[in-house]
């Protein structure tokens, strides 16, 4: 992604040279391009993406916001926060011998990331088969990776017309924006298809839910020197916001509201923004103590419900240990994760017809679809669990998707059917 930003003029020569010198100095010269997005000291020292970095660029027909998500298993919660804001996925796989296989075998991150982005509502995926220069631009290797991944993408719910593959050598800048020069000669012998930017330029923006109530799940908070203001960032899930509007944060005191002082879209000031836009909003008249990552901003008279008990329809992934009633799980929604319990297994559902196939099953095994009651667990000594802002999928698609994880593994994903309490 760092090299792509450079090729598109979003990363200047001076910054590129600074990153090159800095990465060589700490003995990680091969990571110099990654420094274009991996900005924290810890990310640069460890050589891995840990948090979500945001950038943007323009192609002939599209204005694209990039959310660079971590691929490492330890940072899947951060990846979920980024993927929950995405319209499309760019899956980068490593063509080097043994590297693709490591990501694609059971428990590998390629598999988990594909399932996660699809479960979070993403329907379009571009697979960039990277580092082909390390395997002599082998057509056979590219086709082997494509033939392994294609069926898995279909099985995960990506329709073939919404799936594309593109061979790249990112370190050399081959087939990102063009295929010119000596480095691209071997690839040009057998590939004449689109570049990565060509594919990105053809992505279809999904339908935006701008007519619904305003919802902005907060993915980041920046405090200012002034005590009266705070910046919040996130992707608008639904509705429209304008400068000067009053907003309240859920969860939070319903008597406390903030006023929208400024709206920024891709570093440019705007008077308004609508669903699907990644924004940074400056709020005044609100104490930062009333905001947290995972809070949802809405209009005072149109508050999002807080849920502690609700029913969901889930698909169970490739689990070894079946899910039982009373199982403890981590529940993810937008940028929030909370401890929860599968309090009741209500029914198994036929995936083809959507009808109940069996009531009150004893366990949920790999591949089944089921309706389950989820109850949040208390996280401290302050009595019962605090509710989270949630809506039925039928009311708001972005606010009604959930993921369940257990022991560092994603075990199920689904949609909220009804809020019970």
> CATH number for the domain including 183?
3.40.50.300
Greater pLDDT, 293 or 164: 164
Q: Which two tokens stand for residue 292?
A: 């947290």
CA angle, residues 23, 40, 28, in degrees to nearest 5: 20
Which range marks the domain in which residue 341 is found?
Answer: 306-419
Do 315 and 412 touch, CB atoms closer than 8 A?
yes
In 156-218, which residue ranges form alpha helices assigned H by DSSP? 185-188, 196-201
Do 248 and 182 touch, CB atoms closer than 8 A?
no
- What number is the average pLDDT over the span 91-118? 88
Residue 206 lies in a domain: no
User: Where among 298, 319, 354 does a domain terminate?
Assistant: 298
Domain count, the chain: 3
Strands 369-376 and 306-307: unpaired
Question: What is the average pLDDT score of the chain?
Answer: 86
Residue 108 confidence (pLDDT) above 60: yes
Residue 10 lies in a domain: yes
pTM for the predicted model, two decimal places: 0.80
Q: Which two tokens stand for residue 35?
A: 């420094």
The 10s digit of each residue's pLDDT in 119-172 is 888 999 999 999 999 999 999 999 999 999 999 999 999 999 999 999 999 888
Q: At what angle do helices 109-119 and 76-83 cross, to 10 degrees?
A: 30
pLDDT-based confidence at 228, cuts 50/70/90?
low
pLDDT at 3: 82
Are residues 12 and 123 both part of a single domain? yes
Are residues 377 and 269 both part of a single domain? no
Do 201 and 61 touch, CB atoms closer than 8 A?
yes
Are residues 191 and 241 both part of a single domain? no
The set of residues, in sequence order, having a beta carbon less than 8 Å from that of 348 and lying 6+ positions away, is 356, 357, 358, 361, 364, 368, 369, 370
- What number is the average pLDDT over the span 232-249? 95
Are residues 129 and 244 both part of a single domain? no
């Amino acid at each position: 992604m760092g090299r792509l930003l450079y090729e598109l003029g979003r990363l200047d020569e001076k910054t590129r040279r600074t990153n090159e010198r800095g990465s060589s100095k700490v003995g990680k010269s091969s990571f110099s391009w990654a420094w274009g997005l991996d900005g924290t000291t810890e990310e640069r020292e460890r050589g891995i993406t840990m948090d979500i970095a945001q950038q943007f660029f323009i192609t002939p027909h599209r204005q694209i916001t990039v959310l660079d998500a971590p691929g490492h298993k330890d940072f899947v919660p951060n990846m979920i926060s980024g993927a929950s804001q995405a319209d499309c996925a760019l899956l980068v796989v490593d063509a080097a011998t043994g590297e693709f296989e490591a990501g694609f075998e059971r428990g590998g991150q390629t598999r988990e990331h594909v399932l996660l982005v699809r479960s979070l509502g993403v329907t379009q995926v571009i697979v960039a088969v990277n580092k082909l220069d390390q395997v002599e631009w082998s057509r056979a290797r590219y086709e082997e990776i494509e033939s392994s991944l294609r069926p898995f993408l279909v099985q995960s719910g990506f329709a073939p017309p919404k799936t594309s593959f593109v061979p790249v050598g990112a370190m050399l800048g081959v087939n990102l924006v063009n295929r010119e020069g000596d480095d691209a000669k071997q690839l040009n012998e057998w590939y004449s298809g689109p570049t990565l930017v060509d594919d990105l330029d053809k992505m279809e923006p999904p339908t935006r839910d701008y007519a619904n109530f305003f919802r902005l799940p907060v993915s980041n908070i920046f405090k200012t020197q002034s005590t009266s203001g705070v910046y919040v960032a996130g992707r608008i899930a639904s509705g429209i916001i304008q400068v000067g509007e009053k907003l309240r944060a859920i969860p939070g005191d319903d008597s406390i509201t903030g006023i929208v002082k400024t709206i920024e879209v891709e570093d440019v000031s705007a008077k308004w923004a609508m669903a699907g836009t990644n924004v940074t909003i400056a709020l005044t008249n609100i104490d930062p103590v009333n905001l947290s990552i995972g809070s949802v901003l809405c209009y005072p008279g149109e508050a999002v419900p807080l849920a502690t008990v609700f029913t969901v329809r889930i698909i169970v992934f490739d689990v070894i240990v079946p899910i039982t009633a009373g199982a403890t799980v981590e529940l993810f929604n937008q940028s929030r994760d909370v401890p929860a319990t599968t309090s009741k297994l209500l029914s198994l559902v036929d995936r083809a017809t959507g009808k109940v196939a069996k009531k009150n099953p004893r366990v949920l095994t790999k591949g089944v679809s089921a309706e389950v009651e989820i109850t949040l667990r208390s996280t401290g000594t302050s009595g019962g669990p605090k509710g989270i802002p949630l809506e039925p999928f039928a009311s708001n698609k972005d606010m009604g998707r959930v993921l369940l994880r257990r022991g560092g593994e994603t075990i199920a994903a689904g949609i909220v059917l009804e809020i019970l309490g």
